[in-house]
Structure 1
């Protein structure tokens, strides 16, 4: 072991002084006298033969060497705190932070969270809409639901479900354009989401699957950046949107939207579940993820491998 680590008590004092840029405030935090802080900093400087603080008028400031050491000490103490957290498991009750893409959050997750709260009223779920792959090991995120094929190291990752992709439209568009065969869709406004997770799930892919020859230069086209924007577009009667089943199934069930054809891109879009198995909140993480899987399973039918009911063909 590095013998310099025996000065960890002095480093604790140095860390407080560096954060506050004040010996007196550091003394208040550590419940010791300002003179004791000054002495400990002096001992540290003498041992390493380097000046860590310099006086700037009536205040103290870090020297270049002091700033370098302060950054390393702060990281080390942060890592220690993280380690302490990991060996202290919190009770089941408490706050749980869950993140998912903005569209999945608003279209699927948030409308169902009342069911979880009804069964587990002592677990408060905070839903965070984000398109990023957050670090569930070193952040306040407990559970992440992510779409796509990206693999994250050092965390638990499993496939939550695989979602088929298919066209949807309003009943009015269905009737006005007489969508009795896939070829007629090419005469509609085509709405397509672009961005993360869309590779292989475009209109070109769907028309190829439907065996429809198309002329891309003829299309009336609109691109959106989220599934939710596309769904809102077709709800207003604007064309046909190619979407993942989980984003629109409730609207299909209610009759607000129609799935005109039983032609869907499969296996479809992969949704993954990620969490840190060493999280201090692992007990409530397990409770939530079990509920999540049960809620997804409740949508399945024996003849539907996609996991979401087909309601219109």
Structure 2
């Protein structure tokens, strides 16, 4: 069976895709480094072959017909899939940097202060860290040139391998200055809404107030008092945990802390844990954890990052668990 995708048709489709994205033959020509007349002619040949128009031409812009919209949608999906496959198959250049995508708050609060140790251990490996929290799949990682990623979530990646290297514990935190400024010792049940500091989304796909709600349900298993329930929905909101914690450090209220991000401040006395759970402890194991996410056929260097993260996490866990043993008891 002879394929309809002959070289001429593929060339016409390439010009059509560029024109459809730009809505202009002139801009498409600049993108493809050919003349405007060549783009217009190749699109016209595609329309003649299809026996139907793909654009409505006007002096100001090109407008896709319904058939043009349908064809362009199929082309975009096909080209994106082809690009992802090519990027996945292409071997990295020798000595190319390894790019690690990392949840921003974790990158700032835990990873970056420890990176000096990684570079001392691996002087020949160039590691670049990008702070971002978008959801990932294999195609997106390939398109963005990501060798691996650190994500804070419950896991469950369909086409990537994720290895948990650090679990997380949740506890409300505030500054000593905020506590001292309260006219009476603060009570969890009567906190004003503006005193609760929120990370709007703990991880991609998390529900509203995910971490606050999990901790509060363990603190008040019989149900949340009205003031506290109202505070969950009002409060002060941020799009990064690190911003909510910065507000807590500045004495603006109580933030839900993650042990990995607040342990140094707790140890130094810059933050305190003012409230307790129903069982008398202060911290609760969270649903999410920190995971290294990478394709099964990860590029060289990812295994070194995985081993280093594991060793750093083990050291931190010893410090964290010693603090929990002193404070997380009735």
Is the TM value for this pair above 0.5? Answer: yes
Q: Are 2:29 and 2:36, in contact at CA under 8 Å, matched by a contact in 1?
A: no
Distance 1:82 1:231, change over 3 A: closer
Tell me which of 94, 97, 105 is aligned to 2:97.
94
Q: Which runs of 5+ in 2 are unaligned?
A: 203-208
Q: How much is the aligned-residue C-alpha RMSD, in angstroms?
A: 4.7
Alignment match, 1:290 = 307
- The 1-side partners of 2:301 and 2:25 are apart by 40
Output aligned runs, 1:1-313, within 5 Å.
3-20=2-19, 21-22=24-25, 29=32, 38=41, 42=45, 44-45=46-47, 47-52=49-54, 64-91=66-93, 93-100=96-103, 102-118=104-120, 119-120=122-123, 122-130=125-133, 132-138=134-140, 139-140=143-144, 142=146, 143-149=148-154, 151-171=156-176, 186=188, 191-193=196-198, 195-197=200-202, 198-199=209-210, 201-202=212-213, 204-205=216-217, 207-208=219-220, 217=227, 222-225=235-238, 226-238=240-252, 240-259=254-273, 263-273=281-291, 275-277=293-295, 282-301=299-318, 309-310=323-324, 313=327
- SS of residue paired to 1:282: coil
Q: Are 2:150 and 2:290, in contact at CA under 8 Å, matched by a contact in 1?
A: yes
- The 2-side partners of 1:239 and 1:129 are apart by 26
- The 2-side partners of 1:259 and 1:217 are apart by 20
Q: Which runs of 5+ in 1 are unaligned?
A: none
Q: How many residues are matched?
A: 299
Question: Going by fraction, where is helix more abundant, 1 or 2?
Answer: 2
Q: Are 1:296 and 1:307, in contact at CA under 8 Å, matched by a contact in 2?
A: no
- SS of residue paired to 1:299: helix
Alignment match, 2:206 = none
- The 1-side partners of 2:228 and 2:71 are apart by 64
Which protein has the larger Cα radius of gyration, Structure 1 or Structure 2?
A: 1
- SS of residue paired to 2:317: coil
- The 1-side partners of 2:96 and 2:85 are apart by 21
Distance 1:39 1:96, change over 3 A: closer
- The 2-side partners of 1:90 and 1:63 are apart by 41
Query: For 1:194-224, what per-residue CA distance to the aligned partner results, in whole angstroms no more than 9, with x for missing partners?
Result: 5434546446345348x9x996659996554
- The 1-side partners of 2:177 and 2:64 are apart by 69
TM-score (ref. length: structure 1): 0.69
- SS of residue paired to 1:162: strand
TM-score (ref. length: structure 2): 0.66
Shift of residue 246, structure 1, vs aligned partner? 0.8
Shift of residue 299, structure 1, vs aligned partner? 0.9
